């Protein structure tokens, strides 16, 4: 361990850790494992505090267009130049965490989920100017980023738009780039755990099933 390195207490941003001299346990060999055993869907089940969220964030930085290779210098994955050349910075990435979708009622949980999806969707506003996307598809995208007129802190997407939101983003990014998106979902079980605890499990499991099922088939 580098004696001068700082402990990244409460920090889950890979770039922040790498650029600011924080201690980092190198788990980038996970990238090689994923690429060599590439599956359509990969599920990570590890104990709490294992570093799953940081790993997901690291994967986002590795795969997403615009990746800075310097972030991975000296790490395990840098010893795999062929994999890096083929996959580093080669994909659109959709990355969400559901850790805050923890409302004590279904309506509140829906608002929280709309916020998570809406804020991620806003990263892709360039889709509105894409020549590869039809006007009606841009209208579908607009539904994901429209702010509620009566409450500027909320998104106004309908239930149907929310249920198909990840599929919509996957399809539009695929059309724009000609490359399937990588979809990263962190803390996927939190909404279901909270729904079970507060008594709206059936409604939430139906929504989560719709949100994930088709999108996971369209993305990496």
pLDDT tens digit sequence for 35-62 = 987 667 777 766 565 668 899 999 999 9
Q: What is the pLDDT of residue 50?
A: 64
Residue 52 CB-density burial (10 A; 0-12 exposed, 13-18 middle, 19+ buried): middle
pTM, whole model, 2 decimals? 0.91
* CA geometry: angle 24, 187, 113, nearest 5 deg: 130
Q: What pLDDT shows up at residue 215?
A: 86
For residue 186, give the H/E element and its range.
Answer: strand 182-186
Query: What pLDDT score was predicted for residue 1?
Result: 44
Give the pLDDT score at 45.
66
User: If you ran DSSP here, which 8-state letter would residue 22 be given?
Assistant: B
Low-confidence ranges of the chain (pLDDT < 50): 1
Tokens representing 87? 């996959």
Per-residue pLDDT at 26: 94
Element (H, E) at 184: strand 182-186
> For 66, left (φ over 0), alpha (ψ -120 to 50), or beta?
left
Q: How far apart are the first and last CA of the chain?
A: 35
């Amino acid at each position: 361990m580098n004696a001068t390195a700082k402990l990244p207490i409460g920090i889950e941003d890979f770039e922040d850790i790498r650029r600011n001299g924080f201690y980092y346990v190198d788990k980038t060999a996970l990238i090689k494992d994923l690429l060599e055993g590439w599956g359509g869907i990969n599920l990570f089940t590890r104990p709490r505090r294992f570093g799953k969220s940081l790993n997901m964030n690291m994967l986002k930085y590795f795969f997403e267009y615009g990746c800075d290779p310097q972030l991975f210098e000296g790490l395990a994955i840098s010893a795999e130049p062929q994999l890096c050349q083929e996959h580093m910075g080669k994909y659109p990435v959709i990355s969400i965490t559901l850790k805050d979708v923890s409302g004590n009622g279904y309506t509140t949980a829906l608002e929280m989920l709309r916020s998570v999806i809406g804020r991620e969707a806003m990263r892709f506003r360039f889709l509105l100017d894409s020549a590869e996307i039809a006007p009606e598809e841009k209208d579908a995208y607009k539904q994901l980023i429209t702010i509620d007129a009566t409450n500027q802190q909320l998104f106004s997407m309908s239930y149907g738009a929310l249920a198909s939101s990840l599929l919509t983003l996957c399809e539009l990014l695929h059309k724009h780039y000609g490359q399937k998106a990588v979809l990263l979902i962190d803390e996927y079980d939190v909404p279901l755990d909270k729904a079970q605890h507060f008594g709206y499990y059936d409604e939430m499991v139906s929504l989560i099933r719709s949100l994930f099922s088709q999108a996971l088939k369209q993305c990496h």
